[in-house]
Structure 1
Amino acid sequence: MYLRTGQTFSDLHFSYQLGKSTICLIVREVCLTIWNVLHSECLSLPRFPEDWLKIASGFEQVANFPNCVGCLDGKHVRIVCPEKSGSLFLNYKKHFSINLLAMCDSEYRFTYIHVGSCGSDSDSTIFKNTSLYTKLHNGELNLPSAKPLPNTTEPMPYVLIGDGAFGISNKVLRPYVRSNMTHKKKIFNYRLSRARRYIESTFGIMSNKFKIFQRSINHSLPNAIKLVKTCCILHNYIRERDGYKFEDTLTIEGFQNNTNTNNISVVRSGDVLRDKFANYFVSEVGAIPWQDDSIF
């Protein structure tokens, strides 16, 4: 009830005739129990290549983006400023927040979350401090072997995709910057955005179901993190139980360079990989009929 309606403890106090401290304790313990019981079942990274292949197949079918195993993005979750935190949690939108960095599949389900970073941190900085980033660059995710894009012969690696806030590499693709845009670059950005919208929609579906995201969360920082994690778990549980519903996506959210040699080589290889995808998307075998009408 608390997560679903977004009611305050004062509202619940009058509704159930319980003390606010008692309600707070109940909410905290229930959230902790939900996380402990359902975490491994409802929200864990795919373990085997077959699991990643299933995700990639989904993105190829519904978003026309092959060899994609996940979409990355961050969401600012509004909170009341924690005590003695200064401006650490003040984000670029000029309100206090913690960051929910997440990855999803084509069924609007979270496959990875990282909750609790300061609102002032960028998505790219947060991503580099996550276990997902470490496992991705250490080759510990058990991703499938490189596979040619449909109707081609050159093996291409499986990748994650994100927006311009993420650094490009041979593991993560982002859009071309919006300057000197050629036709090929515009097509690539359009095709990438078709896949990347799934993480935006996942955030929107969750915020539509759990109204607590539509106001500032007035809890201590550890409890606020527990609440966000619990909502992510329950979101996945509901997706598994109920499946896709179009009306779930109809929501309006209320709130919402390094220079060392190794990094330079990674960036260059990422640029080459992105160009290969872009060339494929404008080729006869990789183009989709409506893409030229969808760019301007």
Structure 2
Amino acid sequence: MNTFFMELTSEDGGEFSNFCRMSSSDFELLLQKIGPMIEKQQTRLRMPIPAKIRLALTLRYLATGDSYKSLHYLFKVSTPAISQIIPEVCQAINSVLKDQIKLPQSPAEWLSIEAGFRRKFPRCVGAIDGKHIVIKCPPHSGSQYYNYKHTYSIILMALVDSEYRFIFADIGGQGRISDGGIFQTCLLMQKINTGTINLPPDAPLPGREIDVPYVFLCDGAFAIHKHIMKPFPGDHHFNTMERTFNNKLSSSRIIVENVFGILTTVFRIFKKPIEIDRENVPTITMTCILLHNFLINSRTSSNIYAPKELLIP
């Protein structure tokens, strides 16, 4: 149906991976998983759009943020059909890749995450931050989604590990609410407050006797808590204990900002306001997060998606 895309799959030189943001083998693997969920039956009146084109169209939309009209010219698919295909394919991807993001369930799983941070910040089990997902102004919403950056947005609250993977994501908070305010009501904080997050028990650092808790690193917008570590407020003189601590915390916490940077650079839909109904934005955002983990973990796509030499060790 789409000669351009069929020719693209047969070319060498990286054109396909740049177009779909993944290797051809991972594209085929993903297509195999979601194909039965998105393919349509042929009728006497029409030939269905192949599942391969549906997936490629959706990946291109996420990779560029192009309008439906631009995608229509590229894929020769009508804009009404595109408006149905993209949410449907995103829901299918979310269904088959849902295990790509998983909050640890046991102390042993948390300890494996802590091992990645141990050299820089012992007892750290993840870095937390919020990101504004810019959207068009929802109708009749007033200032609910209007943020301090003078745009309309929903909030992505995320926890990442030292391997640049998402291990928790909460999407949909109103843009007018601060990161700290969003975090206080999300599932992760509820688990921390109720003691159901199953962190390892407090233990002394090597060569010390005082028990130290396992903590999540965040910036100054968050409230301090036994398991939430933030920088000392204010400016501090060079070589002071507070300045050294803040530097260590920031150099470890910055990984979550780097993850957001990779996500935005590859999935350029986040570079400008997302021109779809607000109700569909969390689904599309979660699709990009799951694809991020899928590609980071992939043997054939990880170096395409996020080259190792560009990642901070």
CA RMSD of aligned residues (A): 1.6
Residues 86-135 of structure 1 show CA distances to partners (whole Å, capped at 9, x for unaligned) of 11111111111111110000011111001111111101110111111111
- What SS does the aligned partner of 2:118 have? helix
Q: Report 1:49-128 matches (<5 A).
A: 49-61=107-119, 64-128=120-184
Match of 2:71 in 1: 12
Count of residue correspondences: 247
Match of 2:52 in 1: none
Residues 168-208 of structure 1 show CA distances to partners (whole Å, capped at 9, x for unaligned) of 01110111111466811111110100111010001011111
Q: In the alignment, residue 245 of structure 1 is paired with which amino acid?
A: P
Q: Aligned partners of 2:249, 2:199: CA distance in 1, in Å?
A: 20
Q: Determine if contact 1:160/1:172 at 8 Å carries over to the other structure.
A: yes
Gaps of 5+ in 1: 251-296
- The answer as to 2:258 corresponding to 1:201 is yes
Shift of 1:245: 2.0
Q: In the alignment, residue 220 of structure 2 is paired with which amino acid?
A: G
- The answer as to 2:307 corresponding to 1:245 is yes
Match of 2:11 in 1: none
Q: Aligned partners of 2:68, 2:311: CA distance in 1, in Å?
A: 28
Larger radius of gyration: 2
Q: 1:248 to 1:211 in 2, by over 3 A?
A: farther
Q: Determine if contact 2:236/2:243 at 8 Å carries over to the other structure.
A: no
TM-score (ref. length: structure 2): 0.76
* Aligned with residue 188 of structure 1, among 196, 220, 245: 245
Q: Report 1:248-259 matches (<5 A).
A: none
Match of 2:62 in 1: 3
Q: Aligned partners of 2:221, 2:65: CA distance in 1, in Å?
A: 30
* Aligned with residue 94 of structure 2, among 5, 14, 35: 35
Q: Determine if contact 2:160/2:168 at 8 Å carries over to the other structure.
A: yes
* Aligned with residue 150 of structure 1, among 202, 206, 210: 206
Gaps of 5+ in 2: 1-59
Identity %: 38
Which aligned segments of 4 or more residues in structure 1 are displaced greater than 3 angstroms? Answer: 179-182, 246-250
Shift of 1:154: 2.0
